[in-house]
Amino acid sequence: MIATIDSIYEVLERVTDPEVPVLTILDLGIVRKVELKEDQVVITITSTYMGCPAMDMIAAQIRMEMAAAGYGSVRIEHSIRPAWTTEWMSEAGKEKLKAYGIAPPDKRFSIPEDGVECPRCSSRNTRLVSEFGSTACKALYQCRDCQDPFDYFKCH
Amino acid sequence: MPATLDYILHLADNALILGQRNAEWCGHGPVLEQDIAISNISLDLIGQARSFYQYAAEIKGGDATEDTLAYLRHEREFRNILLVEQPKGDWAYTTLRQFFFSTFQLLLFQRLITHPDERIAAIAEKSIKEVNYHVRWSSEWVVRLGDGTEESRARLQQAVDDSWPFVNELFQVENFEIESAVQVNELQKVWTEKIQACFTEAGMEIPETAGARSGGKKGIHSEHLGYILAEMQYLQRSYPGCEW
């Protein structure tokens, strides 16, 4: 098998975030670098939030997918600078989030008090319930029109 | 110049111990949303601690890992300030302590971003984004409780009285900090201004007396650290090297 950077990215496209399974790690923008060094593949990833408990699992999943695709030697490195930002999330990822019921990050503001678009009924008549949601990367909102509570992926 | 091992451990220990303390609220918060909030803050702090311990382990070398530093050091080897090891108390104490600590941490990390040790600078830069949330959340609670009911105000006042003796230690320069490029005593004035601004909104007053309790940075702790370490380290000490 001839390893190319493109073929490695195809493998990485199969690794999803265990906490937001509609997003691949490429959608999230946490894959920072892929390198071929002699016989070894070096993949550099970064965490979204400092204490994100999904990181160890994501690293393990990368190893498994790479092994399944026939890559023998894979090294995973972690970088923290520059710090991850939702600017690195793909547009496709934002669409997937919305379809999944999570409001995508809105770069106009980090945590708006209200005005986040409800992923279910598209109303902007919504209110912030808590800056902290079911995972570190999300805040909790409620729609005043359809009354549904929903997660908002914080602009970070 | 790289940061010294003791300094990195000090930064790590502060984050770990407060993270562990706050985690005691998990499943016991006053309402679900706030239970989630304080648990999230715990997670952020433990994430900070891991980054600092990983770096400390590289500097220490040998068999040291982030786990051995967190789970196998003794009480006297911990370099955290006394404030973070105090029992979680009631919601007023927990949120007020978080406000004091996070306000301090924000000022400290803003300086550490330009630290000559790039690893320290990178951890600070990453953490700041999260510490901003902690400051905002905790300051909102101080205002809500201070400007709330007679009961909430009395509890916050008690929290101020109980925590204030430990505040001064934040700004006492320890030997390992002299080389750290951030003189924490220089942060006291602006820290106090920020606390004052929030207290004014909350209708609270800063105590006139300076806090007298210190020693944590030297490894001389209050009786509470031993108990928290016993709980946190129990598994690794009973089943060395246990993984799951």
pLDDT tens series, chain B, 244 aa: 667 999 999 999 999 999 999 999 999 999 999 999 999 999 999 999 999 999 999 999 999 999 999 999 999 999 999 999 999 999 999 999 999 999 999 999 999 999 999 999 999 999 999 999 999 999 999 999 999 999 999 999 999 999 999 999 999 999 898 877 789 999 999 999 999 999 999 999 999 887 789 999 999 999 999 999 999 999 999 999 888 7
Q: Can you tell me the ipTM of this complex? A: 0.86
Q: Which of B118, B123, B130 sits opposite A49 (nearest CB)?
A: B130
User: Domain boundaries in chain B?
Assistant: 5-238
Instruction: Check residue A109 and give its pLDDT.
Output: 62
On chain B, the residues whose CB falls within 8 A of the CB of A59 are none
Q: Find out whether B139 and B96 touch, Cβ atoms under 8 Å.
A: no
Please give the domain boundaries of chain A with CATH numbers for all domains. 5-84 (3.30.300.130), 91-153 (2.20.25)
Whole-structure pTM value: 0.93
Contact A126, A143 (CB under 8 A): yes
Residues of chain A numbered 40-69 and touching chain B (CB < 8 Å): 47, 49-53
The residue in chain A having the minimum alpha-carbon distance to the alpha carbon of residue B46 is A51
The CATH fold of domain B5-238: Ferritin (1.20.1260)
Dihedral angle, C-alpha A134, A136, A138, A141, nearest 10 °: 60
* B200 CB-side CA count, 13 A: 6
C-alpha A75, offset from chain centre = 21
- The pair of structure tokens assigned to A43 is 């993949």
Distance CA B156, CA B96 (A): 8
Q: Would you place residue A140 in the very low, low, confident or very high pLDDT band (cuts 50, 70, 90)?
A: very high
Q: Does B120 touch chain A (CB under 8 A)?
A: no
Mutation target for B interface from A44, A50, A127: give the one with most B CBs within 10 A: A50
Please tell me which of the candidates A83, A84, A130 has its beta carbon nearest to residue B37: A130
Pairing of strands A40-45, A31-37: antiparallel
Measured between beta carbons, the chain B residues lying within 8 angstroms of A134 are: 36
